[in-house]
Amino acid sequence: MNSVLEPVNTKTINLLDFDRKGLAAFFVGLGEKPFRATQLLKWIYQEGVEDFELMTNLSKSLRTYLSENCYIATPEIVLEKIATDGTRKWVVQTHCGNRIETVFIPEEGRGTLCVSSQIGCALACTFCSTAQQGFNRNLSTSEIIGQLIVAQKRLGAEKRITNVVMMGMGEPLLNFNNAVAAMNLMMDDFTFGLSKRRVTVSTSGVVPAMYRLTQECDVSLAVSLHAVTDELRDELVPINKKYPLKELMEACRDNAKIAPRRTVTFEYVMLDGINDSLQDARGLIKLLKTVPSKVNLIPFNPFPSSSYRCSNSETINRFKTLLTDAGIITTVRKTRGEDIDAACGQLVGQVQDKSRRHLKLHAVGSERAGAA
């Protein structure tokens, strides 16, 4: 018999995994009133208190229960890089040893946090370096909201996170429940209190989840479009084979319907000679005719194993002018944090790949190198 008693961690519930509704249900399950949820959120998010014994408006017995069964834990920043333009990238380690990336983009009058939703990505968009990492697992709610908590702590009181874009590593709508719970928390008056216009979820086009989002969580929607024909989109954003453009646009129209003056933002990465012709611009104008939309053109950010090139600035400007002349509000995304690999599509983290995709890609790469 082993006589050495190992300390056992009996605390199994991370309270950051609940949004207010989830927390209220948790308390009701304990025979408590649902308003305990608000009290707890205030302690954690507003007062920064993590010791349950200090939560004096909770009964002694509830404090004891929480101390014995629950904990509050965020992932941990293990590396910080600051770009010349002030953009900050944090490498954030989860309890299982994987690493994801979170980026803060300061601008005049606002600060945007770009948040990851998965460890790696299960999709295989050909122009995105996160895709090359393969996929490990979904992030939990606490790991998503935890990115805001650790980032805001690190930034201090002067630099506030005013906007969140779910545009880091992963496909948020393939991690629907956790992403939505985390976004609910971001918008909760007792936590970060961000307005729904300042929280944006970006999707590659997971159509059924888009309908669900429209019903269940009122945030701004961005769609990674990148091509205006199914033929090209099948290649660039392979999930298009499952949910082709016609279905995608229908889901966008459904989202735009929920409020007057609501628009869907379409992201369109500018790839030289691939999707940046006059014909592409005309196709885009036609495609967006029936959806209240804005377009965000993203200059392609290269990464080591990619063979794409970014369209030149003349082409990007011409593309923009055509769209603008057709009445579509169009912006060109400023590339930020390029010198620290923090720009769109450059986030890689450190992913223990379970999909074995990085091995397959590596094999293809070596075959190509061998053939050359």
Task: Please identify every residue annotated as catalytic.
Answer: 101, 344
Return the axis-axis angle of helices 278-287 and 313-325, rounded to nearest 10°. Answer: 30
Sheet holding 220-224, edge to edge: 76-82, 88-93, 99-107, 110-114, 163-166, 199-203, 220-224, 264-270, 293-299, 329-332
The verdict on 113 binding ligand SAH (CB under 6 A) reads no
In the region spanning residues 62 to 101, those forming contacts with ligand SAH, defined by CB under 6 A, are none
Least distance between ligand SAH and beta carbon 34 (Å): 34
Least distance between ligand SAH and beta carbon 323 (Å): 17
For 303, residues 6+ apart whose C-beta sits below 8 A from its C-beta are: 129, 132, 341, 345, 346
The verdict on 224 binding ligand SAH (CB under 6 A) reads yes
The verdict on 138 binding ligand SAH (CB under 6 A) reads no
The region of 5-13, 55-63, 249-257, 297-305 touching ligand SAH under the rule CB under 6 A is 297-305
The verdict on 300 binding ligand SAH (CB under 6 A) reads yes
The verdict on 204 binding ligand SAH (CB under 6 A) reads yes
The verdict on 344 binding ligand SAH (CB under 6 A) reads yes
The amino acid present at 269, given as its one-letter code, is V
Residue spans of beta strands (DSSP E) within the chain: 13-14, 70-71, 76-82, 88-93, 99-107, 110-114, 118-120, 135-138, 163-166, 199-203, 220-224, 264-270, 293-299, 329-332
- Tokens 């992963």 locate to 170
| # of chain residues touching ligand SAH (CB under 6 A) | 16
Q: State the pairing for strand pair 76-82/110-114.
A: unpaired
The region of 43-51, 83-91, 144-152, 202-210 touching ligand SAH under the rule CB under 6 A is 202-210
- Tokens 């209240």 locate to 292
**Identity of the residue, 167 or 342, whose beta carbon is nearer to ligand SAH in the bound complex:** 167
- Tokens 């601008």 locate to 107
**Identity of the residue, 146 or 172, whose beta carbon is nearer to ligand SAH in the bound complex:** 172
> Which residue of this chain has its Cβ atom nearest to ligand SAH in the complex?
345
Do 211 and 251 form a contact (C-beta atoms < 8 A)?
A: yes
The verdict on 266 binding ligand SAH (CB under 6 A) reads no
Please state, in angstroms and rounded to a whole number, the distance separating the CA atoms of residues 179 and 322: 35
Start-to-end C-alpha separation, the chain: 62
The region of 53-61, 121-129, 154-162, 358-366 touching ligand SAH under the rule CB under 6 A is 121-129
- Tokens 């579509």 locate to 328
The verdict on 213 binding ligand SAH (CB under 6 A) reads no
Q: Report DSSP state, residue 52.
A: G
In the region spanning residues 1 to 40, those forming contacts with ligand SAH, defined by CB under 6 A, are none
Q: Per-residue string for binding with ligand SAH, 160-199, x by CB under 6 A?
A: -------x---x----------------------------
**Identity of the residue, 43 or 127, whose beta carbon is nearer to ligand SAH in the bound complex:** 127
Nearest to 181 by CA among 71, 347, 67, 25: 25
Binding site for ligand SAH (CB under 6 A): 125, 127-128, 167, 171, 202-204, 224, 267, 269, 298, 300-301, 344-345
